[in-house]
Amino acid sequence: MSTEMGAALRRIQLGSALSAFGNGFTVPFTFVYVAQVRGLGAGTAGVVLAMFAVAALVVLPFTGRAIDRRGPVPVTVLGTVLAASGSLGLGLSGSEPVVIAAAGALGAGVAVVQPALATMTVWCSTSATRSRAFASQFFLNNLGLGVGGLIGGLIVDTADPASFVRLFAIEATMFLVLGAMIARVRLPYAPRIDASGGSRRAASGGWRSLVRDRAMVMVCVLGFVMFFACYGQFESGLSAFAVEVTRISPATLGIALAANTAVIVLAQFVVLRLVERRRRSRVIAAVGLVWAVAWLMAGASGLVHAHHAVAVAAIISTYAIFGLGEAMLSPTVSPLVADLAPARMVGQYNSAFALVKQLALALGPAVGGLIAGAGAYGVYILLLVASSLAISVTALRMGRRLTPAQEIPLRHTRVVAQSTPKALASETSPV
């Protein structure tokens, strides 16, 4: 990787980590803030949380085209300003319509920023370095989110609304810091746009081209199931199961979430060394098996709830095992999306995957909440074990459609690099 690429990538990753640090101040406390501190009730708090996903679904179909046409830097800066205004609006407003509108601005801004940052990471890396770049960014984001949540918990006071204003002000500031850092990034690569607007015509047919890419369609299917079966359950079904069936306290649930983050932070680079030279499809299939074990562990914690210490250990282990799967995915799925994308459609491919992710994150809590509300926890565990196994099966089928460079880019790149000098020598040597 060139010095210019490395410097740009470090700036992108640091800015992203700082914005995650800001998110950590507010994400755990938004529901309590809206429902109790502002006195708007649980119903309005639920609408606010749903608005994050709804706003993302509205803007993401257009975000990829904007990234590919205008470049990811201006799109990111615009997204950070929108997110900062939404965050500050949440902190300062006390009426229901304004709080919902502010949540929409925050959700839209974050949705715009994520695929734009992913596109910049792609431009600042090569096939050989991309897995490590995405793994490092995932590590820094989780570290920032965890530290932000820890400090936010020390600041927040439900009896003092001003403490929440400070939290949202910090988050807004971090978004603006991200925007300022990205505005100064000099990307080492940008697609050429000819005077006849060739790239615009290519982008206009981008969604049709993407849908015809069977490998990308399978990645999107995988992405939906993965985010539905894991991330979409953390704040709904799994939390309800842990409290209602395993019968742990909310404080213990916080420890379980901390265990999830700790595994990601501690294991990320160890896992990276184990997976970056292996077939991506098989790594994703292994994640499905790991998560199936996690859901079975969760089910077991409910069966042994009478033995409190064992049940607590089991549910904390569940969250930790999920973290292991997440650490395996971070250097695998996002780089695969990038390697599948044509050069002029990286933004659209990243936005399409982000759109699928948001759909899963919107439906996952809804389905988990409905099943939890009905008390059908046995069905709930079986559904998610089946979803995890479906990830493994689909990943192996997807692997048949990937080229060697897409499956094992590090090994493929090194083989090419090692063989090229020999080939040149044979061409230039006398007969």
Q: What is the pLDDT of residues 364-397, one digit of tens each?
A: 877 887 887 788 889 999 999 999 999 999 999 9
Average pLDDT of the chain, as a whole number: 85
Which candidate, 97, 67, 103, 72, places its Cα nearest to that of 85?
103
Positive or negative, the Cα torsion across 101, 103, 104, 106? positive
Q: How far apart are CA 389 and CA 398, in angstroms?
A: 14
pLDDT for 416 beyond 60? no
pLDDT confidence tier of residue 2, bands split at 50, 70 and 90:
low
**Residues 60 and 115 sit within 8 Å (Cβ to Cβ):** yes
Q: Round to the nearest angstrom and report the end-to-end CA distance of the chain.
A: 36
**Residues 12 and 120 sit within 8 Å (Cβ to Cβ):** yes
3-class DSSP state of 270: helix
Determine the distance from the C-alpha atom of residue 380 to the mean position of all C-alpha atoms in its chain, rounded to a whole number.
24
Residue 21 corresponds to which tokens in the numbers above? Answer: 């640090």
> Residue 411's pLDDT is what?
65
> Residue 413's pLDDT is what?
55
> Residue 255's pLDDT is what?
85
Q: How far apart are CA 257 and CA 246, in angstroms?
A: 15
**Residues 405 and 339 sit within 8 Å (Cβ to Cβ):** yes
Q: How many CB atoms lie within 10 A of CB 166?
A: 15
Per-residue pLDDT tens over the stretch 321-372: 999 999 999 999 999 998 898 888 888 999 999 999 988 888 887 788 788 7
> Residue 183's pLDDT is what?
92
Per-residue pLDDT tens over the stretch 140-198: 998 888 888 888 888 888 788 898 899 999 999 999 999 999 998 887 755 443 333 33
Mean pLDDT of 205-226: 86
> Residue 50's pLDDT is what?
82
Let me know the angle formed at the C-alpha of 244 by 242 and 249, rounded to the nearest 5 degrees: 60
